[in-house]
Chains A and B, each alone.
Chain A
């Protein structure tokens, strides 16, 4: 014969751990996890962004790998007598980066017009800061083309620029319906 639980521990142990939800929640969960058909516009953006990220990464990695850890004396002497070499933007990766960035920037410029003037002004101010930093790093790279630190900073500012473009494009995507920024 079962006795009703008397002590607090017995009563706690007797409580069910599982409580069925009042309704089946699976249909809502399934709807949330179902792969959505995405509108056409984000794909080229995502693709362009990934090309840019890949290109920047490859470029920086390439430069880092190519750079000697400790420049030989001869190189230092040459650097004093020859004009400094700018970062080679003739790299194929850089060309891909520039094309992809131009595509992104075009979408960004179009979408920027959908934003409120004060928001637009803030974003343009942020972009100006990023570009100023970018230009400054490029100038420094002309004097010290193999500097891993400068190359990483360049990658960082380029990435920030791309992030800004993609964030604006995503948040103003008419297919998603976010327009109150």
Chain B
């Protein structure tokens, strides 16, 4: 039996036990997924403390919703959906606003100018500097492998908008990183 299969079986057992109220099993699930949950929350909120809060909220919400979890679906996907929703809801509560699409052109110039002034930056920083709409899609689709339909559904936008935002994110990242068109 491969490691992956064995891991999945162990996780399925933990999920089943957690569904029956076993907190130790749920702790194991936390240990297995906390990093990825924190990662997606951090990239969506851009704030470490908020991401920590979101991570906690995600696991608490997951525990409370376990009774409704259908074990045929993948626990990890279900959990990450909760994490994304939690981070987005937290951000909405904090009153953070999406950058309007109209500002795209000037924004690109500003980002490029900032990059010239500040010198090279790493990719993670560049993602953090993206406007929210573009960053959301880049994080979900470009980093965490969501389809445009899934990302659009979670973000409450059209799939076409998701594609446009990804294109925009890539252009902005390239500008920040001083990349040529060929390397994008």
A residues near B (Cβ < 8 Å) are: 6-8, 11-12, 15-23, 25-26, 28-30, 32-34
Contacts and interface: CB of A to CB of B under 8 A. Distances in A.
Nearest to B145: A17
Contacts, number: 70
Given A8-B173, A17-B39, A17-B143, A33 B60 contact: yes
Contacts of A12: 123, 142-143
Interface residues of B, number: 32
B48 interface: yes
Contacts of B111: none
Contacts of B60: 29, 32-33
Nearest to B127: A15
Nearest to A8: B184
B160 interface: no
A22 B123 contact: no
Interface of B: 23, 26-27, 30-31, 34-36, 38-39, 42, 48, 51-52, 55-56, 59-60, 63-64, 123-124, 142-144, 170, 173-174, 177, 179, 183-184
A26 B52 contact: no
Contacts of A19: 35, 38-39, 42
Given A7-B184, A12-B143, A25 B34 contact: yes
B127 to A, nearest CB: 8
Contacts of B26: 33
A17 to B, nearest CB: 6
Nearest to B35: A18
B56 A22 contact: no
A167 B158 CA distance: 39
5 contacts: A8-B179, A12-B123, A17-B39, A18-B39, A25-B34
Contacts of B64: 33
A-B pairs, top 3 by smallest CB distance, nearest first, are A18-B35, A19-B39, A21-B38
Contacts of B39: 16-19
Given A8-B170, A26-B30, A29-B56, A18 B123 contact: no
A164 B33 CA distance: 41
A16 B183 CA distance: 21
A20 B37 CA distance: 9
A36 to B, nearest CB: 13
